[in-house]
Amino acid sequence: MSNLSEYEKKRLENIRANEALLRGLELPTKPIKNEGEKKKLKTTLNKPKPKQKPRVRPVATRASARIRGQEPDLTVVHEDMSMSEPSAAKRARFDDSTMSKEDEQKFLGVLEEALKMPNTIPAVKKEHQPKQVKSYQTLQKSLQKLEIRHEWDTVKVTNSRITTSVFHPSQSKILACAADKEGYVGFWDVNGTQDNGDPVTYKYKAHKRTVNDMHFNPADNSKLLSAAYDGLIQVFDMNAAKFEALKVGDIYSYTGFDMTRDGHCVWFTTSDGELGFVDMRSKKDATIHQLKAKKIGCVHLNPVQTHLMALSSNDRSSTIWDLRMWSKSSKDDVEPLQSIEHGYSVTSSYWSPNGDMLATTAYDNFVRLFDLNSKTSSLELNTAIRHNCTTGR
C-alpha cells in the first residue's frame, strides 16, 4: 500500500465506500438479467408454426372463351345431354322456370292469343309491279313520324346481354322473343301491361350457355327453335309452353341455323367451321360437312332460289353455295359458287326477302349490299355503308 500513489489510494477508498453503501441497501451484487428481453427473443426465434388449413380446389374464374382465345368446351354437357339416348329429350326440357303457376297460366294465355289466326279471306296474290323508289326527303319525313308507343325506355326481357331476337309472325299480337348469353329465352308481350303498369315479360332457362340463334318454324309458327353453345337445339312448343331437344346425334357448338320453307329440315353451322344438315322427320343423325378451318357464324337460305345458301365466317369471307352439289357427292370437295373477301371477320350474310340482294356485316364496320345475277348466281357489289358493327364486344 505504501508504494501506491495518492491517487490510487483515493480510488480504493472510494471503492470500499461504495461497497459498504451497497451492503447497507441490501441489493444483489450479481447483474440482473432482462427476463422480458430473453423471453421476447425466444418467442421471435422459435415462433410456433400455424396449423395448415385443408387444401381446397381453386374455383376457376369466369372469362369469355373469345377473350381466352379458346373454342367452347362442350364436355360438361356431353355426359348428361347425349341426344342419342331416348331419355335425353326429356332431360333437356326446361326445369328452371322463373314463373309461378299463376304466371305460367297467364303466359299460356298470351301464347294462345298470339297463335290465333285472323278470320279473314286470304288476300289475292297481286301482280308484280315496278318498284317505286322514294326520294330521300320522303323517307326522312316518314321516319320522323315514327314514335315509341310504350312508356318504358327499355324493357328487360332476359337476365343478361341479348345475343339474338325474333318476332312471332302473328297478325293478332306483337310477341318479341329474345335470348341471352346465360341461356335464358325471354318473351315480351309488346302491347300488354301488368296491373301495376310494368311490361309483360316471361323467361325460361332453356340452355346452359350462350344462345346464338332463334327462328320460328316457317311451316308451324307455334314452334320456336333456339341453338346454343351448350350443344342443343331446343324446340319450344307454344301450345304447351315446353322445351324439347332436337335429335341431332352428336354434340355441336352451334353458332347459327336456318330452316327450309317446308319446316322439315335444318341447316346449322358450328364454331369449328362445320355445316350440318338434319331432317327432323328422320331418325338419322345429322350430315356434317367440314367447310372452314374457322368459325362459321351465320347461314341463310335464299327465300326464292332455295338452292342457294349464304355463309359468313371468321376467315373474312362470305360464300355462296349451291345445295344441289351435295346431292351429287357426299364428299367435302364441293366448292362455293363465289367467295367474297372482306377486311375482317364476317359476322352475318342475309338475303333480301325477294332474294335478289345479299347484305353482309363485318368487323371492318361496313354493311355491304350485293346484287344477285339470277342467271349466273353471282354477286356484284352495289354499295357499302359505314356502320358500327362491333357493338356489344
Q: How far is CA 300 from CA 10, 142, 383, in A?
A: 119, 30, 20
Q: How many CB atoms lie within 10 A of CB 212?
A: 23
pLDDT digits (tens, 9 = 90+) for 296-351: 999 999 999 999 999 999 999 999 999 998 876 556 678 999 999 998 999 999 99
CA-CA distances (angstroms) from residue 141 to 19, 135, 145, 147? Answer: 117, 10, 7, 12
What per-residue string of b and e applies to 323-341 under the rule 16 or more CB within 10 Å gives b?
A: beebeeeeeeebebebebe
243 touches 93 (CB < 8 A): yes
273 conformational bin, left if phi > 0, alpha if psi -120 to 50, beta if neither: left
Indicate if the alpha-carbon torsion angle 371, 375, 377, 380 is positive or negative: negative
Radius of gyration of the chain (CA): 38
Bigger pLDDT: 74 or 303?
303
Rounded CA separation 11/5 (Å): 10
CA–CA distance, 320 with 327 (Å, rounded to integer): 16
pLDDT at residue 147, rounded to an integer: 85
- Look at residue 50 in the predicted model and tell me its pLDDT: 56
- Do residues 216 and 168 lie in contact, with contact meaning Cβ atoms separated by under 8 Å? yes
User: What domains can you pick out in the chain, each with its CATH number?
Assistant: 81-116+155-251 (2.130.10.10), 291-393 (2.40.128)
CA dihedral 219, 220, 224, 226 (to 10 degrees): -30
49-63, 152-166, 306-320, 335-349: segment of lowest average pLDDT: 49-63
Q: What is the pLDDT of residue 314?
A: 95
CA triplet 135, 136, 139: central angle to 5 degrees? Answer: 90
CA 86 to mean position of chain CA atoms: 28
Three-state SS letters, 299-319: EEECCCCCCEEEEEECCCEEE
The per-residue pLDDT for range 181-193, each reduced to its tens digit, is 999 999 999 989 9
pLDDT at 322: 95
Tell whether the model's pLDDT for residue 15 goes beyond 80. yes
The closest of 313, 293, 303 to 258, measured between CA atoms, is 303
22 pLDDT higher than 90: no
pLDDT at 99 over 80: no
Residue 53's pLDDT is what?
Answer: 54
Of the two residues 115 and 237, the one the predictor is more confident about is 237
Selection from 39-53, 123-137, 236-250 with the highest mean pLDDT: 236-250
What is the Cα–Cα distance from 336 to 387, expressed in whole angstroms?
Answer: 28
The confidence score (pLDDT) of residue 56 equals 44
Window from 114-118, 202-206, 352-356 with minimum mean pLDDT: 114-118
Helix, strand, or coil (residue 86): coil
What share of the chain in percent tops pLDDT 70?
Answer: 74
Read off the pLDDT of residues 186-240 as tens digits, 9 standing for 90 and up.
Answer: 999 998 999 898 999 999 999 999 999 999 999 999 999 999 999 999 999 999 8
* C-alpha–C-alpha distance, residues 21 and 14, integer Å: 11
Banded model confidence at residue 6, pLDDT cuts 50, 70, 90: confident
Give 80-98 pLDDT, tens digit per residue. 333 333 334 333 444 456 6
Q: Give first-to-last CA distance, the chain, whole Å.
A: 104
Q: Does residue 15 or residue 117 have the better pLDDT?
A: 15
For the beta carbon of residue 354, count every other beta carbon within 10 angstroms: 12
Residue 119: the pLDDT is 41
- Quick check: pTM over 0.75? no
The 3-state DSSP class for residue 106 equals helix
pLDDT: which is higher, 106 or 324? 324
Q: Where are the alpha helices (DSSP H) in the chain?
A: 6-25, 35-45, 65-68, 75-78, 88-92, 101-114, 136-144, 324-328
Average model confidence (pLDDT) across the chain? 80
Residues in the chain: 393
